[in-house]
Amino acid sequence: MGFYSRVLFPRGCDWLMSMPMLAAYRKKVLADVAGKVLEIGFGTGLNLPHYPASIAEITAVDVNPGMNSLAKKRIRQSPITVNNLLLNGEDLPMDEASFDSVVSAWTLCSIKNVDQALREIHRVLKPGGRFFFIEHGLSDDPNVQRWQNRLNPLQKILGDGCHINRDMKAIIIKPDLRIEKLEEFYMDNNPKCLGYTYQGIAVK
């Protein structure tokens, strides 16, 4: 992992994803999280203030040591106990059927083998467990899709592996997760090629 990925990108990502307009989205997607929780792509810990008060502990994984370093301050300030692990979401060491809730916020766009990550999410969820997600991805407008496909190679460089043309609904249902709730929309104040959003809940 190079200097850009370890040092520059985590700081830029933290600044960008700290924008106030994103807080409302985080609060909404986390509102019904319950039980034993796993968050993949924990990043710099920006979700922590928005978990329900009933959540006392979460297990958090992120592959980027620079993200983990920046997350430590938020973890210290949070009333939630965080088991923060430097791990790839494609290969989780947790036991099968060990979590009631799994959370992913703007993460699936950047995992190299995203299908494998979803199989792991399915594996560690208990039967009836729920996957809470908010992700950007492939628009439903063919004209926007064309621009997303054109710009994706550049986005992967600037966004440290981030894809803007992944069909998130198709990816999420592959491992036999059932979509319970899904909203698709363009996020306010974002270019359409970057801001098409999938927000919802899937159930094992």
Domains of the chain: 3-178 (3.40.50.150)
Residue 146 CA to its chain's centroid (Å): 24
The model's pLDDT over 69-124, given as tens digits with 9 standing for 90+, comes to: 899 999 999 999 999 999 999 999 999 999 999 999 999 999 999 999 999 999 99
For the segment 10-50, what is each residue's pLDDT rounded down to a tens digit? 999 999 999 998 999 999 999 999 999 999 999 999 999 99
What residues have CB less than 8 Å from 131, skipping those under 6 apart? 101, 102, 103, 104, 121, 125, 172, 177, 201, 202, 203, 204
Q: Does the model's pTM come out above 0.85? A: yes
pLDDT beyond 90 at 189: no
